[in-house]
Structure 1
Amino acid sequence: MIRCWTPALQLAELFVSSLVHMGYGFYIFSTAVAGDASQALSDMLFKPNLDPAPKKEGSNETPNADGLPPIVLVHGIFGFGKGRLGGLSYFGGAEKKDERVLVPDLGSLTSIYDRARELFYYLKGGQVDYGEEHSKACDHSQFGRVYEKGHYPEWDEDHPIHFVGHSAGAQVVRVLQQMLAAKAFKGHENTSENWVLSITALSGAFNGTTRTYIDGMQPEDGRSLKPISLLQLCRIGVIIYDWLDISWLKAYYNFGFDHFNMSRKKIGVRGLIDCLIGNAGPFASEDWILPDLTLQGAIRLNSHLRTYPNTYYFSYATKRTRKFMGITVPSGIFGIHPLFFIRVLQMSQWRLPPDVSPPYKGYRDEDWWDNDGALNIISMTHPRFPVEHPSCHVIKDSDCQPLQPGIWYYKIVEGDHILFIINRERAGVEFDLIYDSIFERCRKHAFRKTPILPDHVQ
């Protein structure tokens, strides 16, 4: 069956490009991603649809893979889960590589904290509870979306999960694990850190990024926005988008701020003005994701997060820089979009303003120059600040076999920040090599009990 071009899908593609121009280019979508998304949408629209019927939202249906823990793919900032953007796959179709994979749709701009709460209820089921204290402090509703049936309701220490997080998605999973260890979910007092079997980060945002300051966060505090910046345009666009509350458009893409009740139906024009001038909404309360991605914000988060002894950890850091005569420069002009080339160049030259206090003792600008156009290499390998966690640099996968839990194994691969998402054709064979290694590790090397694998996986 051939999918037909419809005005709605045409608008969805136009929307992807619009996000780029209003600030979506901060992290994942730049013009490069708009091109990738357009190509992927074109493939979706004009190539035969051989996929099975989609599952119903909120159901706990999973492929028949008895005994296999689910692999949960968690998107990053400005990302989306299954069912958004006309069925476009954020992970480039990697979810089809295994029999039991889940791709949750979390808030794309909500805070790391809020996204971790959403992820728990997506899996376990029930109504998202952001917590009474947090909700009052951030001035939003305590309760959110309802999952009548969790996608993995049996989740517990005996039925743990493998998580794969791209970019900020990796930090979301770490916060979720800390919440499980702290038994932070009301009505679920038996949670523990051992509910998480493994965490794999793909370009993980563990230690923040200097890109946030280039795009508009204040380096003085890592919380507030510069008066004139790309992120200010993004803020205005998001507020208006949520205020208009066009149901069919939000079904295609949602920033995730529904619990802030910014719809025109609820707050009217006066409420819109309050949000725009900074008196209300997520940007006023700083309960959105950018403050979590500054160096100061990452340190605040990391001060509460541990690397647990019974969980396996692995990360892939993407790199698009090299040294030339002692200067950090982009590693090439081929295989990278021109706008990402500019971002790589900007980050490789960024310096903390001399009148700003360093975010941590021993800070050096040059440590943050190697980057992939969105994140710094020093941020992606493993958690480092305020305390460095146990780690091991891996050159070949065989060098770290058998894997030991409680250690961050990391590899550095050549590629920009979005090479392994959205459009697998762009990454080529390396796309399959990366994801095959991730899925194989989950199935064959990261377990507490010897798994019983289907014949074709053995």
Structure 2
Amino acid sequence: MRKTNNYPFVLVHGYLCWGNDDRINDICPLFGMWNGSAKTALLDAGYIADTPSVGMFSGMWDRACELYAFIKGGRVDYGKVHSKRNGHERFGKTYPGYVPNWGELDENGKIQKINLIGHSFGGPTVRTLIHLLAEGSEIERQGTDPDDLSDLFKGGKVKWVHSCTTLAGTHNGVTLPEQIQRAVKPLAFTIFSLAPLTSGTWFSKVYGFHLDRFGLSSQTKHVGWDPTLLLHYVNLKEDNIHWELSREGAKELTKDYTVYDNIYYFSYYGVRTAKNKKGGQSGTKDMWLPMRPFAWMTGNFKRKTIGDEWMPNDGLVNIPAAHHPFKDPWQDFDPANIKPGIWNVMPQEYKDHTSYMGVLEDKEVYAQFFRDIADRVTDLPVIE
């Protein structure tokens, strides 16, 4: 089939992960790890692609704001109302623009669109960006002078996106935060304490926390360790990735999200656990070893609100979490009947959570996986 477009691809990472702004990405690309680079594979195939850095510990709203500024260009605006409510600075980094003409008409009078690919928490991130592009934010519109309002919060930009693809997306939240609920805040405090302690050092440039707006990190200067600031962030509900990864958080924050008729949606998910003697699920011998403890925890957790269907997982993400957003329509993927405005769910794959990052994957097979995604969406009719 003849290609209908060559819209740029934006690959968005998840929790604890990195992108272009982090030097670790030069040595070990998040999308590829030690088995190549999805970005390079796409570029070599003639596509336009990039892998931006968004806050690895940030909530989906803040990550979406960063993603918007990265793509369109300009200074990150987290929103006047949102920033005040969550106790952080309103503005962030300034970007030159990956696709500065995004949303504008080309020489043929067609809208310049993009393709979004999100792994893990990158799934809710790209869905949040789409939601804000389409609907904007009524709260920000009411609380901000029109001349001071970010274009992102004005809405009316749903036609700026051609496709949305998620890889092991945490759409409906995962059960692990519930299982370790008492340990989440102490663990978060310990992890986030490293942000000021490593600020302004070589480590912050290699693996940045990207929590500058909270006064917790910086790649250019030392930031003092302040337990008050740390506790403020750890105790946040909204704007806290650990809560947003939970089933409760995901449900609350995405309750108004929907699908749009001009966007093609695809969902990939994997399972690499099997039933164990106790009736739960354990990681198989093919699962990457560091994933296996989390696979066992996820696969053996059960409550009244968590049935057996939540036990099979990819090492971190339960099948129901990644399959498709609960409220949205979906269909099994059919290459002869790909529809926009509905989740086209791919067949279950024998993969763990890091397989989509390239871990334990064959280099060429991994590269072809992303080329197939690109080939598919660039063949689909453009809906203006």
TM bucket (normalised to shorter chain) is 0.7 to 0.9
2:91 matches 1:137: no
64, 83, 91: which one aligns with 2:31: 91
Question: Match for 1:377: what amino acid?
Answer: I
Matches within 5 A, 1:209-358: 209-214=174-179, 216-217=180-181, 226=182, 229=183, 232-262=186-216, 268=224, 272-276=226-230, 278=231, 280=232, 282-286=233-237, 287-323=239-275, 327-330=279-282, 332-333=284-285, 335-352=286-303
Give, in whole Å, the separation in 2 of the partners of 1:94 and 1:275: 37
414, 417, 430: which one aligns with 2:353: 417
Matched residue, 2:64: 116
Question: Match for 2:234: what amino acid?
Answer: F
The total of aligned residue pairs comes to: 350
Give, in whole Å, the separation in 2 of the partners of 1:337 and 1:190: 42
Deviation for aligned residue 1:182: 1.8
Structure 1 residues without counterparts, runs of 5 or longer: 1-64, 218-225, 355-362, 450-458
Matched residue, 2:6: 68
Pick closer, same or farther for the CA change 1:86–1:150 going to 2, 3 Å: closer
Structure 2 residues without counterparts, runs of 5 or longer: 105-110, 138-148
Pick closer, same or farther for the CA change 1:298–1:86 going to 2, 3 Å: closer
Bigger radius of gyration? 1
Matched residue, 1:170: 123
Question: Match for 1:431: what amino acid?
Answer: Y
Pick closer, same or farther for the CA change 1:446–1:103 going to 2, 3 Å: farther
Residues 156 and 191, structure 1, Cα contact 8 Å, conserved in 2: no
Give, in whole Å, the separation in 2 of the partners of 1:78 and 1:369: 23
Matches within 5 A, 1:152-231: 152-156=99-103, 158-184=111-137, 186-187=150-151, 189=154, 191-214=156-179, 216-217=180-181, 226=182, 229=183
Identity of matched residues, %: 28
Deviation for aligned residue 1:176: 0.6
Matches within 5 A, 1:301-450: 301-323=253-275, 327-330=279-282, 332-333=284-285, 335-352=286-303, 363-384=305-326, 388-394=327-333, 399-411=334-346, 412-423=348-359, 426-427=361-362, 430-445=365-380, 447-448=382-383
Root mean square deviation of aligned Cα? 2.6
Give, in whole Å, the separation in 2 of the partners of 1:151 and 1:176: 16
1:68 partner SS: coil
Pick closer, same or farther for the CA change 1:96–1:66 going to 2, 3 Å: farther
TM-score by length of 1: 0.71
Residues 313 and 406, structure 1, Cα contact 8 Å, conserved in 2: yes
Question: Match for 1:447: what amino acid?
Answer: V
Give, in whole Å, the separation in 1 of the partners of 2:160 and 2:118: 16
1:146 partner SS: strand
Give, in whole Å, the separation in 2 of the partners of 1:167 and 1:154: 28
Question: Match for 1:307: what amino acid?
Answer: V
Deviation for aligned residue 1:79: 1.1
Q: Which has the higher contact order (CA 8 A, sep 6+)?
A: 2
Deviation for aligned residue 1:163: 0.4
